[in-house]
Amino acid sequence: MKLGFQGEQLIKRYENCKLKAYTDSVGIWTIGYGNTVYENGKRVKEGDSISLNRANELFENIADMVVSDVNLVIKGTSLFQNQFDSLISFTWNEGIEHLKESTLLKKILLNPKDESIETEFLKWVYAGGKELKGLLNRRKSEWHLYHFGELYFYN
């Protein structure tokens, strides 16, 4: 599968686009649409800056990598586009290793229609040991897209 329009919009809405490197809520250098690394694996560092065109290019390239990683871990499980997009947003934010180890993935692989998947999304709202409203809103939006098939942004 590929990243769909709704998934792209969800990621971009919650990541925003920053053209100068900044530290995220746990002190990791980030640029563009929440990118902590460039395509070559080099980490974003203090002082880095990019153009809007480069931010969009970086988004596309990193999205292709995340999509590839998620396609490998879902192992051919049949998902609807909205469910897949939701998983891409989650993985964009949390990383493929966290997805691989999560009960969220286990439940999706067993039964993508399991209502308790909502609870699994909502477990991932902490950064640096603190619950963050932005992460809670993002997870609620990811669940909404996953379950209802439409974008809804929580504030």
Q: Which residues are catalytic?
A: 15
Q: Which residues contact 145 (CB under 8 A, 6 or more apart)?
A: 6, 7, 10, 82, 85, 86, 89, 151, 152
User: Do 31 and 39 contact (CB within 8 A), yes or no?
Assistant: no
**C-alpha dist (Å) from residue 85 to 11, 76, 115, 141:** 9, 15, 18, 11
Residues in the chain, overall count: 155
126/100 Cα distance (integer angstroms): 18
29/27 Cα distance (integer angstroms): 6
